[in-house]
Amino acid sequence: MKLPIFIADAFTAKAFRGNPAAVCLLENKLDEDMHQKIAREMNLSETAFIRKLNPSDSFSQKNMNSTLTFVTLSGELKARKAEDGIILDLPLYPAHPQDRHEVKDLIKTAIGDTLVQDIRYSPDTRKLLVRLSDTYDRSFLENLKVNTQDLLQVENTGKVRGLILTLKGKPSGQTHAFDFYSRYFAPWVGVAEDPVTGSAHTVLSSYWSQELGKKDMRAFQCSCRGGELEISLRPDGRVDIRGGAAVVVEGTLTA
């Protein structure tokens, strides 16, 4: 069995940055075991399988639709092409104040004595948002050592499945100033640190929009690969997240 496969770096215009994902094109449905085997072989945090819904669909024919709808395990995902990238249409999830005592061991294990300014929790996504003190800058967040291995030993009862560390951006006269920075960790689902995380920004967008009083923002995820996101909150309670994409591998997988 030979399958077309690509590796694309998302939320960047440059190769070897942003969030790498494998994309496999399927003429016919594969069983879940084969999905898992291919994903393990790719060794990336995301591997997507795109299958035709109708026999007449063609991967080689140019798609004239401005918006594509993907049926995923998490529901429908809509993406539309823009002049300078791709826009994802995502839900917006509120994050509520979190009792510090309930999560103090988890935070202490992750970041030690790092000063924390705010803690929020998103029950919809089971993500814990930890805002670091405004006294820190981007370089501090980038260089912060996060102890993800020991997080699995902290009593959690399944409440937290992802940890967002975030920091307010600094005013700057530069063209590419950012409103906020973040990093994302999910060892509970096998991802020590995700390079760039669209789902985390469904929570971050809600939080920072309220904090900054803005609907349109620019964000940077401070992983070692780094990724830029442009955010626009919509009146219908959803959020548009725009990012670039660079295809770095195109080939055939033999299974």
User: What is the C-alpha to C-alpha distance for residues 200 and 184, in angstroms, rounded to an integer?
Assistant: 7
- Catalytic residue (one of 46, 193, 228, 230): 46
User: What is the C-alpha to C-alpha distance for residues 9 and 245, in angstroms, rounded to an integer?
Assistant: 6
Q: Is the dihedral of CA 55, 57, 59, 60 positive or negative?
A: positive
User: What is the C-alpha to C-alpha distance for residues 214 and 127, in angstroms, rounded to an integer?
Assistant: 22
**Strand 180-186 relative to strand 162-168: parallel, antiparallel, unpaired?**
antiparallel
User: What is the C-alpha to C-alpha distance for residues 25 and 121, in angstroms, rounded to an integer?
Assistant: 36
User: What is the C-alpha to C-alpha distance for residues 187 and 162, in angstroms, rounded to an integer?
Assistant: 8
Assess contact for 181 and 222: CB atoms under 8 A.
Answer: yes
**Strand 162-168 relative to strand 216-221: parallel, antiparallel, unpaired?**
unpaired
User: What is the C-alpha to C-alpha distance for residues 185 and 129, in angstroms, rounded to an integer?
Assistant: 11
Quick check: is 155 catalytic?
A: no
The one-letter amino acid at 87: I
List residues bridging with 47 in a β-sheet.
Answer: 22
User: What is the C-alpha to C-alpha distance for residues 233 and 241, in angstroms, rounded to an integer?
Assistant: 9
Tokens of 94: 């509120």
Secondary structure (3-state) at 189: helix
**Residue numbers annotated as active site:** 46
